[in-house]
Chains A and B, each alone.
Chain A
Amino acid sequence: MDYPADLSFLFTSPTKVVFGAGASADVGLELAALGCAKALVVTDGFLQKTEIVAKIVASLGRACAGIFSDVPPDSGVHTVNAGAELGRARGADSIVSIGGGSVMDTSKGIAILLTEGGTLLDHQGFQLLTRRQTPHICIPTTAGTGSEVTYFAVIKDHERKRKLSFGDYHIIPDVAILDPILTVDLPPVLTAATGLDAFSHGYEALTSALREPISDALGLHAIRLIRRFLPTAVKSGADIAARGQMLIAATLAGAAFSNSQVGLLHAIAHVVGARHGVHHGLANAIAMPHVIRYNNDVVADRHRLVAEAMGVDVRGVSDEAAGRKAAEAVSAFVAEVGLPSSFRETGVPQDDLGACAEMTLSDGAIVQNPKPVTDAADVLGVLKAAWSGKPA
């Protein structure tokens, strides 16, 4: 694992992380520490009916300015605008988001509007904001997206049928409260899929064209934790220790890819998600072994690290062979946690793979893939392998 002499990078991860079983009860204290007094609670309709939100709202007490619970799984501009409207009406000076990636990304959008005004489309861009946005505390209820520490938000513009990407250091949440108790009821299949999403963040941060040593360390340890604790979290959802380590892994991997970016794997997952509704984490899980094989001639030394982090014995073998072992180990791991191994099983029609390949080529994530991807035929090769579940 050598770094070039002209290595140059920028790493930032300013979020305060508060971890522990029951840590979400500290939300009121954390809000006060931020100097805030009225928080808009943002969540989804399902969670709002649970004890999770009720307890957090109780902890906030009078500091809860209102609850916005209209966040759908695929949140959009209208949702953000509506949330901001409620926040303004209630005089909110901060946001507490409780949920998965969609809730946290929606909250990042609301944070922009509460500070900058206007509608979300007025602020479309990358690193465009010039000042601190509305203080934001994230309380994730899944262990996958890492959005609690990332500078990204993806929000759909349903009218124009496109996804808006926001990337800005000023929308990185101020506080992430990782409370494993909040994830114990997550069903096994979602636990597995979100866990593999976090794994894919670690993998792509480690291999991205923008890879650097700090993200490497975070990504590698995330993979180690996921290898060790995801199977337990899937089989024994109430295991607080495993749930906690998975939350930490997701946060580590989030910080890693927020700095080093992602690549071809995420570009594929975005497309099969958009065209065929395949869960993002599941899509990453299925395509990852095949992307590893595709990238292997360029970043085999990195794949050796992945293999080692997964406990594979790669002593005495070449980097290329170690990379192939890493791909095999990921496939076996995906099966071990009970996820399907092919897009065929998820209902992606074989005759749409060509269109998926073309669309993947124009996804923004592909730019930082370690092996430049400019030919749709290359993507199609990966997709065909992922569809059948067998190496090309």
Chain B
Amino acid sequence: MGIPFFSDEWIAAYKTAINSNAAYKTAAADWIYGVVALICKAQPPAFPGDVGIWLDLDRGVCREAKAVSTDEAMKAPFCITAEYARWKQVLRKELEPIKGMMQGKLRLKGDLPTIVRAVQAAQELVNSAAKLDTKFIDE
């Protein structure tokens, strides 16, 4: 059946997946740089407007995960924006996020070197999401 992509249920499951990922806990042990927000650009009819996710990450733990407006997401120290199709590629591990940023497939607001220093942690965030049984909106 699957959990609808970027739904409240998906976000809650994502938080659980992050916090139960031992590899993430290790890789992100030094992450003290704050919230990472994700924005998925509008994809009508499922997403008539842009949708945002707020991930409050601290030293290997996801303290909070919630849906937010794009305005709020953009206030996070790090905000990654992409089209729906790109996020789908990321979740299916067809697009490596850092490479995607380099190539403009994902857009980063924030300090890139800080993100690249946390490349292992970023990969584990993707691995956590990839473990979810996601129902994509175009399938």
Contacts and interface: CB of A to CB of B under 8 A. Distances in A.
Contacts of A364: 112-113, 116-117
B18 to A, nearest CB: 22
Interface string B94-129: 000011011111111111110011010000000000
A187 interface: no
A126 B105 CA distance: 10
B interface bracket (residues with beta carbon within 8 Å of A): 10 to 19
Interface string A134-176: 0000000000000000000000000000011101110000000
Nearest to B78: A125
Given A10-B104, A126-B102, A363 B113 contact: yes
A168 B119 CA distance: 20
Nearest to A260: B102
A261 interface: yes
Given A167-B102, A169-B104, A210-B99, A125 B110 contact: yes
A124 B107 CA distance: 11
B112 A125 contact: yes
B76 to A, nearest CB: 12
Interface string B37-70: 0000000000000000000000000000000000
Nearest to A372: B119
Given A210-B99, A362-B117, A367-B98, A124 B110 contact: yes
B112 A165 contact: yes
Interface string A352-379: 0000000000111001100000000000
B100 to A, nearest CB: 9
Contacts of B109: 124-125, 128
Interface residues of A, number: 21
Contacts of A168: 104
Q: Which of A9, A164, A364 has the most CB of B within 10 A?
A: A364
Specify which of A125, A126, A128, A130 lies most central, judged by the most chain B CB atoms within 10 Å of its CB: A126
Nearest to A6: B94
Nearest to B94: A8
Given A362-B117, A364-B117, A367-B116, A127 B104 contact: yes
A261 B98 CA distance: 12
Given A210-B102, A367-B116, A164 B111 contact: yes
Contacts of B111: 124, 164-165
Given A167-B102, A261-B102, A127 B108 contact: yes
Given A169-B104, A210-B102, A126 B117 contact: no
A127 B110 contact: no
Contact of A167 (B105, B112, B119): B112
A44 B79 CA distance: 35
Interface in A334-392: 362-364, 367-368
Contacts of A126: 101-102, 107-108, 112
Contacts of B108: 125-128
Interface of A: 9-10, 124-128, 130, 163-165, 167-169, 210, 261, 362-364, 367-368
25 contacts: A10-B103, A124-B109, A124-B111, A125-B107, A125-B110, A126-B102, A126-B108, A127-B102, A127-B103, A127-B104, A127-B106, A127-B107, A127-B108, A128-B109, A163-B113, A164-B111, A165-B113, A167-B112, A169-B104, A210-B99, A362-B117, A363-B113, A364-B112, A364-B113, A364-B117
Interface of B: 98-99, 101-113, 116-117, 119
Closest 6 CB pairs of A and B: A364-B113, A127-B104, A126-B108, A125-B109, A364-B116, A10-B103
